Structure 1
Amino acid sequence: MRTDSTPTPPERSRVGRRTLLAGTLAAAGLATAGCGARPTAAGARLRQWNLFTGGDGARMVEMHDAYRADHPEVDFRPTTYLWGNPYYTKFTMGAAGGRAFDIATLHLSRLRGLGAGTLIDPVPAHLLAEFGIGPDTVLPNVWDKCAVDGELYAIPLDTHLVVTYFNREVCASAGVLDADGGLVETSGPEEFLDLLAAVRDVTGRYGIVMETTAGWRLFWSLYRQLGGDLTLEGDVVMDDDKALRVLDFLRRIASDGLTPKASDAPGTPANFQNGIAGLMLGGNWEIPTFQAAGMDFGMRPFPGIFGDALGQGDSHAFVLPHRRDPDDRAVRAAVAYAAWMLKHSLIWAGGGHTPAYLPVARSAEYDALEPQADYRSAAEHVQFDPDAWFSGSAAPLQNEADSVFSGVFDGAATPEQALARFQRAARQLVDTPAPV
């Protein structure tokens, strides 16, 4: 499933309020907090590839405009491709050719499967440290994910994950807000279902909406709350009892009429916006949609139904292609660009993603962002997909799980049938040689 909205035209120069905000932050010292020496990249050409369209794409353009203004000595050439498989196919072909880009964006969950050590070169940690980026300035759980066999291969920009949205007016009428206007805490599945029923009594339709056609994110969040693991090496090893407990809970939400039995990526936020439900489980990147609509809504981490409030998610990160011929100047310019982007990621946070760079994520400016600051803690516990070449964002494992688990919501499959089908599909993927 994609983490952005509808595609936008190719990137072009455009200055907006976030570009101006970047200048303000730089003047205040936040954007350059912790930075070291400025790169000497006069005359360097920097080719950057990314997969950001829609709202994310617009913010990336504004950040790039600010980067150009701050680095006139760099011949900066960004290119945007369609999210998902179109991008990753292009990425693989470009990296294999060795001349396509100097730095590119990918989901951190795809790092191993897309050729760390073959198509992707290590990031010179000492060079990154010159620009003030290292393990002490990046969210630890995300930084650790950037290493393969003890070597750094990625520079994380953000964390994005599944969170809880709530309509304040509806939830106030249902009596499920606390004294501070936040959604009340629940303990265990029964209390959560009771909360949904109270909200449904107000809307007259549903208590919550979620993307039932993409059930992997919901399943993995709850399965991890139960302490479930999934090993995809040699065979498929998982805890069937915990998996069935999760799938039965998801089935029950739909069969009890608390959520629509079928809801896709465009329909889920639309139904939350039009008020047929008072809550939504969805990606943090939906914030701009509801803000533009003038909704009075709040956010908090994914609900802790079976334990801690863990939610499935990922990280957008920068990587360097393998170079047949070393080019120190190009590598330096690429690393400097990534460091600049991290230090200016308050602009990026406007779209909902939580900055990986701690001086921004812990700043007073980020504290003032509503409702982003209310789910900031979720990034510290983001649940990445299991390691495998076919796992991660827009990868085959998610696609297979989404197809199978959707049947649990609409009654086409029992939890037992869905789990058996998922495991068969996963075993076929395990038995398929990695293409990279």
Structure 2
Amino acid sequence: MVSEQRGSLTEWIAAVRSGRMSRRSFLEHAVTAGASSSVALTLLAACGGPTPSGPAASITYWNLFGGGDGVRMIQMENDFAKATPSIDVQSVTLAWGDPYYTKLAMAASGGRPPEVAISHITRMSTYAAQGLLEPYDLAELARVGITEDKFLPAVWQKGHYNGKLYAIPLDTHPFVAYYNTDICKKAGLLDDSGNLKPIQGTEALMNALKSAQQAAGPGGYGVVFEVEGVTLWRIFYSLYSQLEGQVFSPDGKELVLDDAKAEQVLTFMADLTSTSKVAPPNIDYGGAVALFGSGKSGFHWNGEWEVTTFITQKTPFSMAPYPQVYNTYAVQGDLHSFVMPRQLAPDPAHRAAALQFISFMLQDSFTWAQGGHVPAYLPVTDSEQYKNLKPQSNYASVAPHVVIDPTDWFSGSGSEMENKTQTIFAPVMGGQVTPAQGIKQWKATIQKLLNTRLPF
């Protein structure tokens, strides 16, 4: 198709150089004629013309990445700037969680959002349902090298809502198990290769944690995890999903929690802190990370994003998938993804530039993987370079088994549901409230949220 239009492209380039055609019109004509966005932008960059030299297109990109993630994202943005000077990316980093998503919703509802933004997959469906996101065109994606076969089916499908693709996954970030290699070796939990032996079932897990606690010495623990934060939800939902429990009906309108399974899970969790006491009963996120980093715990349960912290601290550690405690393997997690918020006046040139940016970021995601996240883009995940990245590649196999938070406006990463779960479950972990009472209170709280109208 492009070769058939070469004469037209040549004429349009001449028109741009003479000032008879704008650069935006050139991009619209070229993409409509069948040229890929990358070809069109490359040709446009060579057009010269009466306008000052500089980027042919400019897009705005919003994200919520701070800390190590933020540093790696900036590195990837710089890589794109060097490789594609024809596109200027104005990157904006906003506060993680509800502040970010509130601003994104307001910008999209006002019709003046960024051309491309990061969204957790767990937040995407709510925004798509409100018409705040633009669906992707598969043919447009194919022209910049983004096709379904380059993603795991389970990962690609999570980007869909009502049969349309609204989110392109950048990664999967699962809940994982960090383990101190010195402590676990002393406890007899490592194999001849120095890797953690398989641990499956409640009894095997509890025995492993008790052995690790003994090996950690006085004042040490078998496992440490955040009790004063959203980690309680991540543990609960991982284990409840391993029992094949559901929280909401398929349409998301009815609470269908299995009380017996939920109480079974919360009882096991409370046993860790208030009965067997292999884990501290009240500790915040920073305290949990510091305790493991200082060598006072055999295990640490958290998201995989703290890998750089322990590497920097020279903690003797490795990582493994979160253990299978019950019938079916599942683990809580989420996916960072690229979305295109709804524009009041869509610009084909900006859309083409945004798609090229997304394509590049996927291809450059080995940089992203170094921070712990599992790349969604299979050409990176399947590469020898990634397989040799340790310990980050040790848990890549869990990507198809990640369960994301139930779909609703109050659910998802950094959401009201995650926060309220911690408030309700923490007293159970401390032994002040029984698991049955905790589940009853949790159900009443979630039902109240279900009865509340979407706030935007």
TM-score (norm 2): 0.86
Residue 397 of structure 1: which of 417, 426, 433 is its match? 417
Q: What is residue 251 of structure 1 aligned with on the other side?
A: 270
After superposition, residues 379-398 of structure 1 pair within 5 angstroms as 379-398=399-418
Name 1:338's counterpart in structure 2. 358
In the other structure, the counterpart of 1:238 is 257
Look up the SS of the partner of 1:278 in the other structure.
Answer: strand
* Higher alpha-carbon Rg: 2
Structure 2 counterparts to residues 315-326 of structure 1, below 5 A: 315-326=335-346
Paired with 1:211 and 1:139, the residues of 2 have a C-alpha distance of: 31
Which residue does 2:161 correspond to in 1?
148
CA contact (8 A) 2:295 2:315 kept: no
- 1:273-303 Cα deviation digits (max 9, x unpaired): 1122111111100000000011221111011
Alignment of 1:18-29 (within 5 A): none
**Alignment partner, residue 33 of structure 2:** none
Q: Which runs of 5+ in 1 are unaligned?
A: 1-35
Aligned 8 A contact 2:221 2:280 in 1: yes
SS of aligned partner of 2:40: coil
Q: Which runs of 4+ in 1 moved over 6 A?
A: none
SS in 1 for 2:176: strand
User: Structure 1 or 2: larger helix share?
Assistant: 2
**Counterparts in 2 of 1:217 and 1:401: CA distance versus 1, 3 Å:** same
Match of 2:209 in 1: 196
* Maintained 8 Å contact 1:219/1:247: yes
SS of 2:149's equivalent in the other structure is: coil
Match for residue 312 of structure 2 among 279, 288, 292:
292
2:190 maps to a residue whose letter is L
Q: Using the TM superposition, give the Cα deviation of residue 39 of structure 1 relative to its aligned residue in structure 2, in angstroms.
A: 4.8
Q: Deviations over 1:142-174 (max 9, x none)?
A: 210111110110111000011011111110011
Cα distance between partner residues in 1 of 2:153 and 2:233: 25
Q: Please point out which of 221, 227, 243 is paired with 1:212.
A: 227
User: Please, which of 149, 165, 190 is the counterpart of residue 178 of structure 2?
Assistant: 165
Q: Does the CA contact (< 8 Å) of 2:180 and 2:299 recur in 1? A: yes
For 2:40 and 2:341, how far apart are their aligned partners in 1?
A: 21
Aligned twin of 2:200 = 187
State how far apart, in whole Å, the 1-side matches of 2:204 and 2:421 are: 27
Judged with a 3 Å threshold, the aligned counterparts in structure 2 of structure 1 residues 307 and 298 are, in CA distance, closer, same or farther, namely farther
Whether the 8 Å contact between 2:213 and 2:298 is mirrored in structure 1 is yes
Are 1:302 and 1:309, in contact at CA under 8 Å, matched by a contact in 2?
no
Superposition deviation, residue 68 in structure 1: 0.5
Distance 1:357 1:392 in 2: 22
Structure 1 distance, partners of 2:136, 2:413, is 22
For the 8 Å contact 1:163–1:283, the answer to whether it is kept is yes
CA contact (8 A) 1:210 1:282 kept: yes
Q: How large is the RMSD of aligned CA atoms in angstroms?
A: 1.3
Aligned residues: 401
> Matches of residues 27-176 of structure 1 in structure 2 within 5 Å?
38-41=38-41, 42=44, 43-116=56-129, 118-176=131-189
Matched, 1:283 2:303: yes
Do the aligned residues in 2 keep the contact of 1:39 with 1:336 (CA within 8 Å)? Answer: no
Which whole-Å CA distance do the structure 1 matches of 2:67 and 2:39 have between them?
31
Aligned residue for 2:379?
359
Q: 1:413 aligns with which of 433, 449, 453?
A: 433
TM-score, normalising length from structure 1? 0.90
Range with bigger deviation, 148-157 or 37-46:
37-46
**3-state SS of 2:403 partner:** coil
1-structure distance, mates of 2:143, 2:226: 43
Q: What is the Cα deviation at residue 412 of structure 1?
A: 2.4
Is contact 2:37–2:353 with CA below 8 Å preserved after alignment?
no
Amino acid at match of 2:146: I
Residues 375-413 of structure 1: CA deviation (Å, up to 9, x unaligned) = 110112111111112111011111111211112211122
Q: Distance in 1 between matches of 2:346 and 2:199?
A: 55
